Structure 1
Amino acid sequence: MVGRVRGIKAAALALFVLGVAACSETVVAPVEPVLKPNARPAPTPKPAPAPQVAKPTSQESATLRSYLNQVQNAQLGQGLLRRDGAGADTPFTSAMLARNFEKIAFFNEYDSSFSGRGGASPLRRWSAPVRMDVIFGAGVPPSQRKSDTANVRSYAARLAQITGHPIAMEKQANFMVIIAGEDDRAEALAAAAARLPGISIGSLGPLINLRRDAYCVVAAYASGTGSNTYTTAVAVIRAENPSLLRLSCIHEELAQGLGLANDSPDARPSIFNDDDEFALLTRHDELLLKMLYDPRLRTGMKADDARPTVQRIAAELADGGGPV
């Protein structure tokens, strides 16, 4: 910069000398140019992501959706699908709680093909943390995906609080929740099989073709050395179910996938009863889940061996807050 200033002064002196000699020249001092940077181009806005659009459904799926809406409306009209968690009109004793736990935790609702009733079984539950994730069929609209995901997430947190067992939503899942319709259930189950080690699409075959009166179902699997310790589970919920029936399915199937594998007509107030009186988990059912994960019970125990402990735990829980 110094050298440049000096150069301007020398040029001015030379012009002055020329002016004296010629007398007709005007002396003009040179002006240093002002450089302006080129304007920065405005950033090109990123294109908005394409909105998620559900795949059109078939007439079969639409007919099933209409049928299930009629089922829900009929049940509500009969006072079923209660959401109050039970109350004074449905008392239960510690003996009833112990009896219901034995029938629900030590028996299977279905056989391995889901075509008939199951039989007696040892106590089964998870030892590893339960990591849930949801896979939706292509025909499930975005608004339903959002609400169903929120319901699974909040219910998983509730189950963890009740049982004291780690249960949460994670992408690296070992408990897949499939919410899909007639048109895309097979594809959703194939996606689940691809993400679950040790599970093939063939092993999930019984979950593909559901009876019309089956709103939802769950299958839990044990692998490794512990034949009664669950390591993987897949719940299937019909996307055609209206909102309350879908939520009811979330409550029942996710709890059953933890180890309460059976239903009983004597269980009341409970969602583990085919009478559909209650849509959502009740206080009675919360106590069943507490009992299931009580460390005094061991995975693999048979009903006869566990009965004294079950009765003792039931008495403690009933006296601690449940009706007596």
Structure 2
Amino acid sequence: MVIGTVAGFGRRTIGTNADAESGVGPAGTPSRGRRALTCLAGLGVVALLASCAAAPAAPPTRAAALPSTLPAIRSFADTSAVPVRRSNGEMAQDFLDLTFQLESGRNVVAMTRYEGPITVRVAAGAQPTLIQDLDLLLARLRNEAGISIARTNDAVASIHIVPVPQRDLQRAVPQAACFVVPNVMDWNSYLQLRRSPSVDWTRLQTRGTAAMFIPADAAPQEIRDCLHEELAQALGPLNDLYRLPDSVFNDDNIHTVLTGFDMLMLRATYAPELRSGMTRAQATAVIGPVLQRLNPAGGSASAPAVPSTPRDWITAMETALIGGSSPAARRQAVNNAVSMARTLRWDGPRAGFTYYAQGRLMIGHDSAAAVTAFNNADLIYSSSPLTRIHAAHIAVQKAAFSLRAGDAMTTIRLTDGAIPVAAAHQNAALLATLMTFKAAAFDMQGDSVAAQALRVDSLGWARYGFGSDANVRARQAEVDGLRPY
């Protein structure tokens, strides 16, 4: 296992071809969902230093004792969004590319949305945290996006949230942790219709009934993350854009909850100036004034067009990060992606993600190259306030190396900078992991009292981020196993 889901990468489906996105392909894959990337998925730490290679992991040493009964699960009460900070001109292009294109590059001829109040029903089998997190999310959608949406117990609803055992989800769509499908209400109807045109997003004239398939037995944070992303797609944008620094609509999966940008995109989708059936040209004529009205701080100036992400780069990244290829083939693919990013003179999220993936694939093969790649990603991510959470994910990778090297001071410095960012972005798994690294560094300095206090404080977050007590204890042991003494 590797630090992947902790770091934000790893829970969406692979919407890369027309058949898959229409629901008529051999796997019946929906247009998008939280992707499960083979090489970057998982929550472990020890094998961080082995990555996807076959190098053996170091055995845990001097693992700290945890309470026999773990503290109560913690969750985030503050649900305020990360604010939007970009220009309206730039975000107008984002809106159009998110709304009128699928991940494969297929065009969406007509915009669709719900025309009227929206109801959300949760089917049987949901964890208690799902209901709590859903209610917080619906309140945000009403307050921040201006959408008329409410939970209902009625059998007839606009959107059905259907908990499904993870093994069944993986059997049906191996590369998805969760996903949303139009024109179905339950799991059986999806299985019957998944190869039919009725579940093709591009054929819709307006939004009607949809079903979100959520893992019934995943960690609470994974379920919450699925709720945010899949409900946002059920309501609005169908695409993902690797260039976005501040959105869940990005296949890097850095953001775990809807951001200010995401709420602005949804508010624009449901603005009275837009409607179902509008073409891209019609939406282009009005989206600028709409954003200026909704976000006066973003100004009205137009922005230069942002080049689209080349399909060759996307293919290379998918080869690198998805199962089916040898470790050598994956490394070659990610090196090709790095070369393309350099040739295109990228900075920002796409370049940072490329180097991050390179670092992950070099662990266990070439540690020096891995450190260089993580440093390159960190340099890019740290250069902008829009990617502070991205830099916090890189801090986990760098902290693993510094802890393994016995450098307690560097580990503490890295975690001190990243812990408040993880908390602000409501990533409990990342937060707990960073706190555990810092506690291990305190132990190396001989401050066992501070170490144990911080470790215990992290456990409530770890239960939300990792799920079962067994998972929490395993993650703790894995971090402690990185200590050289």
Measured against the shorter chain, the TM-score band is 0.5 to 0.7
* Contact in 1 for aligned 2:165/2:216 (Cα 8 Å): yes
Report the equivalent of 2:179.
217
1:278 is displaced (CA, Å) by 0.7
Q: Equivalents in 2 of 1:263, 1:123: separation in Å?
A: 16
Q: Equivalents in 1 of 2:123, 2:100: separation in Å?
A: 30
Report the equivalent of 2:339.
none
* Contact in 2 for aligned 1:72/1:242 (Cα 8 Å): no
Q: Equivalents in 2 of 1:268, 1:322: separation in Å?
A: 19
User: Which of 95, 104, 118 is equivalent to 1:130?
Assistant: 118
Q: Percent identity?
A: 26
Q: Equivalents in 2 of 1:165, 1:85: separation in Å?
A: 16
1:260 is displaced (CA, Å) by 1.5
Q: Equivalents in 2 of 1:269, 1:323: separation in Å?
A: 20
1:219 is displaced (CA, Å) by 1.5
SS at match of 1:71: coil
More off after superposition, 260-269 vs 274-283: 260-269
Q: Deviations over 1:175-206 (max 9, x none)?
A: 10112214566xxxxxxxxxxxxxxxxxxxxx
Q: Equivalents in 1 of 2:260, 2:299: separation in Å?
A: 7
Report the equivalent of 1:26.
none
In the alignment, structure 1 residue 71 sits paired with structure 2 residue 42: yes
Report the equivalent of 2:237.
260
In the alignment, structure 1 residue 163 sits paired with structure 2 residue 145: yes
More helix by percentage: 2
What is the letter of the counterpart of residue 161 of structure 2? V
SS at match of 1:307: helix
Q: Equivalents in 1 of 2:137, 2:40: separation in Å?
A: 23
Structure 1's unaligned 5+ residue stretches are 1-64, 78-82, 110-115, 186-206
Output aligned runs, 1:120-199, within 5 Å.
Answer: 120-137=108-125, 145-172=127-154, 173-182=157-166
Report the equivalent of 2:446.
none
1:271 is displaced (CA, Å) by 0.4
SS at match of 1:276: coil
SS at match of 1:257: helix
Q: TM-score, normalised by structure 2?
A: 0.39
1:292 is displaced (CA, Å) by 0.2
Output aligned runs, 1:1-324, within 5 Å.
Answer: 71-72=42-43, 85-86=81-82, 91-109=85-103, 118-137=106-125, 145-172=127-154, 173-182=157-166, 209-211=172-174, 213-221=175-183, 227-320=204-297
Q: Deviations over 1:199-226 (max 9, x none)?
A: xxxxxxxx97112x31211113399xx9
Q: Equivalents in 2 of 1:72, 1:308: separation in Å?
A: 45
Report the equivalent of 1:4.
none
SS at match of 2:227: helix
How many residues matched?
214
Q: Equivalents in 2 of 1:122, 1:132: separation in Å?
A: 24
More strand by percentage: 1
Cα distance change of structure 1 residues 271 and 183 upon mapping to structure 2, 3 Å threshold: closer
* Contact in 1 for aligned 2:292/2:298 (Cα 8 Å): no
Report the equivalent of 2:435.
none
Q: Equivalents in 1 of 2:236, 2:183: separation in Å?
A: 11
1:317 is displaced (CA, Å) by 3.0
Q: Deviations over 1:279-308 (max 9, x none)?
A: 111111111011000010121111122102
Larger radius of gyration: 1
SS at match of 2:139: helix
* Contact in 2 for aligned 1:181/1:238 (Cα 8 Å): yes
Q: TM-score, normalised by structure 1?
A: 0.57
Q: Deviations over 1:46-102 (max 9, x none)?
A: xxxxxxxxxxxxxxxxxxx9x99962467xx9xxxxx98446xx8421112111111
Cα distance change of structure 1 residues 94 and 135 upon mapping to structure 2, 3 Å threshold: same
**Aligned-residue CA RMSD (Å):** 3.4
